[in-house]
Amino acid sequence: MDEKIINERKRIIMDIIESPNYVPMKIKEMAIILNIPKTERHELEEVLNELLSEGKISVSKKGKYGKPSGNILIGDYEGNAKGFGFVLIDGEDEDIFIPESCTNSAMHGDKVQVILRSSRTGRRREGEIIKVLEHNTKEIVGTYQKSKNFGFVVPDNIKFSRDIFIPLEKSKGAVNGHKVVVSIYDYGSKDKKPEGIVKEIIGHTDDPGTDIVSIVKGMNIPMEFPEDVQKQLNKIPDHVDGKNIAGRLDLRDVQTVTIDGEDAKDLDDAISLTKEKDRFILGVHIADVTNYVKEGSPLDKEALKRGTSVYLVDRVIPMLPHQLSNGICSLNQKVDRLALSCIMEIDFSGKVIGHKIAETVICVDRRMSYTSVKKILEEKDEAEINEYKELVPMFERMEELAGILREKRMKRGSIDFDFLESKIILDEKGKPIEVKPYERNTATKIIEDFMLIANETIAEDYFWQELPFVFRTHENPDSEKMIKLGMFISNFGYGIKTTQEEIHPKELQKLLGKIKGSPEEALISRLTLRSMKQAKYTTACTGHFGLATKYYCHFTSPIRRYPDLQIHRIIKENIHGGISEKRVKHYDSILAGVAQMCSANERRADEAERDADKLKMTEYMSEHIGETFEGVISGITNWGMYVELPNTIEGMVRITSISDDYYYYDEEKYELVGEATKKKFKLGEKVKIVVVKTDKLLRQIDFELVEEEERNSSDGESNNEADSE
């Protein structure tokens, strides 16, 4: 329906409902009053659903429409594998529990209207879904199961608790075990399953790569580039010519390097560094992607749609096609490349005393890896030093300046969560053969420090110019969450200074310093992180709490992040004679949407990356069932305790599996306690476990504790494979 018609019909319905003589009625009764024929009742329902979504009216359990009630709320339904779920209300921290009998056939992701009711436990809000306002899931990825006369698909996402019925003629020839994409055309009811049609067969569950592609498809992450993008690529050159170089600052004679991981192919940042009598001159040179990706072009629209590159365990799904990301936009060794450079003068206290932003042309001298630079600076490896002898003085300057910048950042209160990351090694068939910790080293920290200072410098510059811009912001934590965190850590003898208004990041930085190396470090670090808000992209420069800075943006990765690409476009336009009033209005009209879309796509990519890692870790441990490992208790809950192995894999020891006693969870002390034996399991405690079960669908690994007798008898015959982990 036309928006003008919908708005007029909304007004008519609101006039009826707000009338003092109105008595709540069903859609059929309302249709009779409004003289709407049966064939057009769906249009009336569409208008009523819009009014419900806007919170202007409500609907009772019996389907009667009336004035909004404070007891009726609108939110998004989050399902659970066990059939119950939760409704998340925008702007509210506390969700609403929905028992299985009260879901009204809502599916995960649906927009729903929920009526609050008395809670059986008294602990949290409880409700009943009275109407599904909008089905937000159109497609589902899952495993096809065939019966004689029909088929059904078990969704991969366990938040969808019901199978999808597939008529045989709509199965596209799928067989048992095929991973498929299903398009839903009937969402079912309380007594009827949803129905769908197989839109695409991804592959068999046993085929290499099918598992990861299923994750990607399930999160609606685009993999293939559309035809109009491919056509545009044909017009993009594979080398930099003289016409592109004209008018740029020529830095090809300046000693410049890239430092990245060994496997990286999209090299979007290069570094140059000299030291003078009283200052450093640091050049952070970023690939000039906007020279090739013009605003509004097919490439630009597709990049915005993706928002970010997605780095999965077995592949990268790039924001830009490889012809750009690995080719003309990649700052490869010994070739001319176009860049947007931030050249900073930094004094010996770490203060930026001057800077210049310019379009440049550079030629990288060497493509360095983190490993090589680490060997030079940390290990003093003679062979490596000899190989890169002409660059060693610059690497030493880098180490010096990075240390100064890091110390300055720490003094102001910047928070550094130093969690171990996982590195998962796969064989040629996609099977995990090794999982190990990936630790930051001197080289990775140098690049982090230089990118941070460039991002801060750019953000501060454009904040004071008062031009439309996209900033990277991180709001202060909720004071209530900080007070709760303070109460919890007091059990371990720690404290943080909080007020009702705010907490300074320095307090959290001090806390992380105090707990370093302690048994409770992992738990308190994670709880501290969870107590903070998510960083996001915004058009207002409201500061970055975690970095303890007023000004921050993302400038340094335009190959893999759209916000960086967006601000490069603004910066370049500003360099070329300033931004006109017309263009200011244009940017004002689009940037809020760009920021919101990029924040959402970033969260989607993070979720896909985590899910793929969990899947491969589960698959890896399925080959080690029955084996014994030593780990550390990393978390304790009502249902058991998490144990983390030295290779970063985490599994669950369920309370029900601790057979020698009845164990209960002591919430105040965060311990599992044996009722009869009084034996306690504490955070950070080393335990021996045996792997008993894995579930790839649920991404779960189950451990059991090795009994004391077994531990003693096996002291002299430690499992070699476990030791190697």
CA 10 to chain centre: 38
CA 461 to chain centre: 28
Q: What is the CATH number of domain 625-724?
A: 2.40.50.140
> Under a CB-based contact definition with an 8 Å cutoff, are residues 665 and 638 in contact?
yes
DSSP element (H, E) containing 258: strand 257-260
Helix axes 562-575, 442-464, angle to 10 degrees: 50
- For residues 496 and 536, which has the higher predicted lDDT (pLDDT)? 536
The mean pLDDT of 696-717, rounded to a whole number, is: 70
Contacting residues for 503 by C-beta, under 8 A, at least 6 apart: 476, 477, 479, 482, 496, 497
Say if residue 714's pLDDT is above 70: no
- For residues 56 and 625, which has the higher predicted lDDT (pLDDT)? 625
Least reliable range by pLDDT among 289-303, 387-401, 522-536: 522-536
Say if residue 724's pLDDT is above 50: no
| CA–CA dist 623, 427 (Å, integer) | 14
Say if residue 168's pLDDT is above 70: yes
Q: Give pLDDT tens digits for 323-344.
A: 999 999 999 999 999 999 999 9
pLDDT of residue 709: 46
| CA–CA dist 234, 379 (Å, integer) | 46
pLDDT of residue 710: 47
Q: Give pLDDT tens digits for 658-684.
A: 766 788 887 767 788 888 888 888 877
Highest mean pLDDT among 2-6, 33-37, 145-149, 467-471: 467-471
Q: What percent of the chain clears pLDDT 70, i.e. is strictly above it?
A: 96
Cβ atoms within 10 Å of 22's Cβ, excluding its own: 13
Question: Which residue, among 114, 164, 112, has the nearest Cα to 138 in the 3D structure?
Answer: 164
Least reliable range by pLDDT among 1-15, 154-168, 215-229: 1-15
Place 296 in a pLDDT band, splitting at 50, 70 and 90: very high
Rounding to the nearest 10 degrees, give the CA dihedral for residues 48, 50, 56, 62: 40
pLDDT of residue 712: 45
Q: Retrieve residue 500's tokens.
A: 């009702």
Fold agreement between 139-207 and 625-724: yes
Q: Give pLDDT tens digits for 556-615.
A: 999 999 999 999 999 999 999 899 999 999 999 999 999 999 999 999 999 999 999 999
pLDDT of residue 713: 45
- Fold adopted by 1-66: Arc Repressor Mutant, subunit A (1.10.10)
pLDDT of residue 464: 97
**N-term to C-term CA, the chain:** 62
Say if residue 619's pLDDT is above 90: yes
| CA–CA dist 605, 309 (Å, integer) | 8
> Under a CB-based contact definition with an 8 Å cutoff, are residues 570 and 469 in contact?
yes
pTM: 0.84
> Under a CB-based contact definition with an 8 Å cutoff, are residues 680 and 673 in contact?
yes
Question: Which residue, among 495, 398, 415, 497, has the nearest Cα to 450 in the 3D structure?
Answer: 398
Select the CATH number that applies to the domain covering 139-207 from these four: 2.40.50.700, 1.10.287.3510, 3.90.79.10, 3.40.190.10.
2.40.50.700
Say if residue 103's pLDDT is above 50: yes
Domain edges within the chain: 1-66, 139-207, 227-475+539-611, 479-532, 625-724
Which residue's entry shows tokens 């496997």? 263
- For 29, which DSSP code? H
Say if residue 715's pLDDT is above 50: no
- For 701, which DSSP code? E
Contacting residues for 646 by C-beta, under 8 A, at least 6 apart: 437, 630, 631, 725
Say if residue 86's pLDDT is above 60: yes
- For 326, which DSSP code? I
DSSP element (H, E) containing 383: helix 382-387
Q: Retrieve residue 678's tokens.
A: 């009084």
